[in-house]
Structure 1
Amino acid sequence: MESKSAYIIGHITVKDAEKWAEYCRRVPDTVAPWGASLVFRGCNAQVLAGEHRYTDTVVIRFPDRSAVDAWHESAAYRELIPIRQQAADVVIVSYEE
């Protein structure tokens, strides 16, 4: 059975731009060992339906769900969580294809 790609989508509202920049600069090194790649990072242009209170979104592709789980539980990423919490209000959701 072929593994399905998995994605994380982060919905973000930045509270501290300097800390957020540090977090964003450091995250790529934490996802690289898991074969992940940035798909999209951008600011909200327009809400077309419903409510969406976040201003920014990021999408990262992983080879499979186990890679998402391993990355999220990794020491390298766990070290960044306090910076993320100080820098922004964030909701991270994972999806599988």
Structure 2
Amino acid sequence: MPTLAVANLRKVDLGPAILDYLQKIDATLAPYDGRFLVHGQPVTVLEEGWVGDFVVIIFPDRARAEAWYRSPAYQAILPLRTGNSDSTAFLVDTVPETYRATDFLKTLGIG
């Protein structure tokens, strides 16, 4: 299943370091077949609590997502983002097209 790298970036300093990060990140994604799905587009906040920009990168699987994040190329530019923003990033696997909310109940032994 595809894996998403998701980030919520708050308080971003759009100075030279972030510009450098943006100029270099695409090259770090290519060897792992990663690509942007969402990159800072405006969000419509439906419930309270959201602040900042939203980024989603898709990879064919978790192994490639983790390999990208740990790669020397990405680790070299990571401080450009973390040092110039308040951000949270994580990996999450997608679900099959046939997935239904009740499938989660089965993982809990209910239903």
TM exceeds 0.5?
yes
> Once superposed, which parts of structure 1, at least 4 consecutive aligned residues long, lie more than 4 Å away?
none
Kindly report the root-mean-square deviation, in angstroms, between the aligned alpha carbons of the 2 structures: 1.4
Larger Rg: 2
Aligned length: 93
Aligned-pair identity in percent equals: 26
Q: Given that residues 10 and 58 in structure 1 are in contact (C-alpha distance below 8 angstroms), is that contact kept between their aligned partners in structure 2?
A: yes
Deviations 1:8-34 (A, max 9, x none): 111002432022222122111111100
Q: Higher relative contact order by CA 8 Å / sep ≥ 6: 1 or 2?
A: 1
Scaled by the length of structure 1, the TM-score of the pair is 0.85
- For structure 2, the residue ranges without an aligned partner over 5 or more in a row are 95-111
Scaled by the length of structure 2, the TM-score of the pair is 0.76
Q: 2-side partners of 1:45 and 1:65: how far apart?
A: 26
Match of 1:78 among 60, 75, 90: 75
- For structure 1, the residue ranges without an aligned partner over 5 or more in a row are none
Higher strand share: 1
